[in-house]
Structure 1
C-alpha cells in the first residue's frame, strides 16, 4: 500500500495550487455568495481545460480516467483554496454515480438523511435526488433558500413537479467516493487555516518579539499540525480502499478524522488570531465557517460513528456500555 504521492500527482497538486492562487478565490467566493457566478464559471472552465472537471470520467467519455487518489489530491487543493460551489458533487459523486455525466457539467444533489438541501441549486445545470433506490433528475423545480452557516454554501430546499430516472452505477460506492472527497477537502482547509495562523504569529509582535517565538504558541501549532498529519494517511488509505469491500469503513474513518483535525486547526487559528479572526473581512473567517459547515455535511460525526460501529461490530448494541 503506497501512501506517498508519485511525481505526477505532486505536479498535479502544485499546478492546481498555482492556478487557484492566481484566480483570487477569496474574491470569487465573495461574489459567489452574492449570486455573481461569472468569475467562478470562468475558473471552472479553466479547470476543465486542465482536465480537472473530467478527472474521474473515463477516457472514452472525454475524461482523464484517473482514480480516487488523484481525486483526493485535487479536492485537497480545492479545500486549501476554499473554492466554493458544488465541487464535491460535480467532481466526486455524480461522475461516479451517473455514467452519462459530462465532466464539464455542474450538478448538485439531494441525499436523504445526509444532504436534505441542494447546494447551489440555482447555479447547477441539474439537481439529482440520489439514494439507494436510484438517482432521479428533478424537473419542474422551485427553490427555497435556507440559512447556511457559511454564506458561500448556498443551500436550497427543492420542490419539483416531476422527475426522470437516469442510468446509474451502485449508489453506495459513489457516496463513499463523495465522502472521501469531502475528507480531502476538509484536510486542505485545515492546512490552510494552520498556514494562516503560522503566518499571523510571525508578523504579530508582543514584548518586542514575534508571537510565534513563544513556546505556548509553538505547542498549539504543533498539536494542530500533528492531528492533520495523522488524518492524511487515513484519507490516503481510504482512497486506496474505497472501491473495495472495506470502502465504507475506511471513508467514514477518514471523514471523522479529517473533520476533527480541520476543526482543531480552525480553533487553534482563531485563538492565535484573536478577535480579528471573527471578522467576516478576514481570510480566516472564510475557512472557519466552511470547516464548521462541512464537518456536518456528507454525514455528521455521529452518523459516521454509527456507521463505523455497525461495520466493525454489527451485533453490538450502540449507545450502551
Structure 2
C-alpha cells in the first residue's frame, strides 16, 4: 500500500506549519489558559481562510470536500504546535456528525468560516472542551447544548464540561463515523505532538553540555531519542492507513473501525513515550510552564483518553481478531 504523501499534501502541511509558526502558538496557548480566547480564535479564523476548517465540509456549504488524509495532514501540524481549544470537535467531528444527521446550511457554513464549536457524544466522549457553540448527542438525538459544571483536566488549556441538551436538531443520528473521525483526528494530534517533543529534546541535547560535551553525544541519550523516533515512525503508517480507510480507499473487507482504534493506540503510545523521554533529557526545566515542552506534556496526557481510552480501543482491536 502506498503511504507517500502527494505534493498537494506536502503543500498543505507546509502552509499550516508556516501559519502556526508565524502565529507563535505557545504565547497564544498561555493566553487561552489565562482566559483570553481571542488570540486563538484569530488563528482558527486564519486556518479557516486557508480551507483547513472546511476540509471535511462539502463545497456546497463553503468547504473543500476533502477527506480523512487531508484532515490528518492538517491535524498533525496542529498537534505539533499544541494549538488549544476544541480543535478536533470543530474541524473533524462536527462536520461528519452534521453530514450523518442531515444538518446543512448556516450551521455547517459557520464551521467552514472559522466558528469554534464543540460536541459531546456519550459514552465515548461524555465531556467536551468548552466553546460558545455546543452540541450533544444523546440516544441518537442531536441537540444544541449548554454547558453544565466545568471540569479541569491535567491540561490547563483543556477545560471540559458536561453538555446539557437544548433544542433538538435531528433524530436517529448515526454516530460511528463521527466518533471514528474524532478518534483519528486525536491520533494525528498526538502524532504531531510527539514529533514536537522529540524535536525539543533533540535541540536541547545538542545545546546542553556536561563534562565539556553536548549531552546528545552520550549513548544513553541517543538511545532514548532513537526509541521515540522509531515509535513515531511505526505509528505514522497506522494513522495514514486508517485515514485511507475513512476515505474508502481500502479493500471492502477492511475493518476500518479497528484500524482507527489501532492508529490512536499507536500514536498515543508514541506520544506518551516522547513525553517521558523528552522530560528525562530536559530535566526539571521541562516541567516549568515557561518551557514549551510543558504545553505538550499536559496536552498529551489529556488527549490519551479523548475520543476513546487506550483500554477501550485495545479491546476493539482484540475483539476484531
TM-score by length of 2: 0.91
Shift of 1:224: 0.7
**How many residue pairs get matched?**
306
Cα distance change of structure 1 residues 252 and 283 upon mapping to structure 2, 3 Å threshold = same
Shift of 1:144: 1.9
Shift of 1:251: 0.2
TM-score by length of 1: 0.91
In structure 2, list runs of 5 or more residues that go unmatched. 249-253
Is structure 2 residue 253 aligned with structure 1 residue 229? no
Q: Deviations over 1:131-189 (max 9, x none)?
A: 56242222xx35322121000011123345x3313378632112111111110000000
Is structure 2 residue 222 aligned with structure 1 residue 180? no
Is structure 2 residue 305 aligned with structure 1 residue 296? yes
Aligned partner of 1:25 in structure 2 is: 25
Aligned partner of 1:239 in structure 2 is: 243
Is structure 2 residue 129 aligned with structure 1 residue 119? yes
**8 Å contact kept, 2:53–2:91:** yes
Provide the C-alpha distance between the structure 2 equivalents of 1:155 and 1:285, rounded to a whole number of angstroms. 19
Matches within 5 A, 1:62-77: 62-77=62-77
Aligned partner of 2:196 in structure 1 is: 192
Aligned partner of 1:44 in structure 2 is: 44
**8 Å contact kept, 2:183–2:306:** no
Shift of 1:201: 0.6
Give the match's secondary structure for 1:306.
Answer: helix
Is structure 2 residue 156 aligned with structure 1 residue 151? yes
Provide the C-alpha distance between the structure 2 equivalents of 1:168 and 1:23, rounded to a whole number of angstroms. 41
Aligned partner of 1:319 in structure 2 is: none
Shift of 1:195: 0.4
Provide the C-alpha distance between the structure 1 equivalents of 2:208 and 2:320, rounded to a whole number of angstroms. 48
Shift of 1:112: 1.2
Structure 1 consecutive aligned stretches of length 4 or more whose deviation exceeds 4 Å: none
Deviates more, 1:107-116 or 1:185-194: 107-116
Aligned partner of 1:316 in structure 2 is: none
Aligned partner of 2:212 in structure 1 is: 208
Aligned partner of 1:281 in structure 2 is: 290
Q: Deviations over 1:40-76 (max 9, x none)?
A: 1111111111111111111121111111000000000
Cα distance change of structure 1 residues 144 and 132 upon mapping to structure 2, 3 Å threshold = closer
Is structure 2 residue 266 aligned with structure 1 residue 260? no
Provide the C-alpha distance between the structure 1 equivalents of 2:171 and 2:289, rounded to a whole number of angstroms. 43
Provide the C-alpha distance between the structure 1 equivalents of 2:97 and 2:153, rounded to a whole number of angstroms. 26
Provide the C-alpha distance between the structure 1 equivalents of 2:46 and 2:157, rounded to a whole number of angstroms. 21
Aligned partner of 2:137 in structure 1 is: 130
Aligned partner of 1:87 in structure 2 is: 87
CA RMSD, Structure 1 to Structure 2 (Å): 1.6
**8 Å contact kept, 1:110–1:118:** yes
**8 Å contact kept, 2:194–2:232:** yes
Provide the C-alpha distance between the structure 1 equivalents of 2:201 and 2:28, rounded to a whole number of angstroms. 22
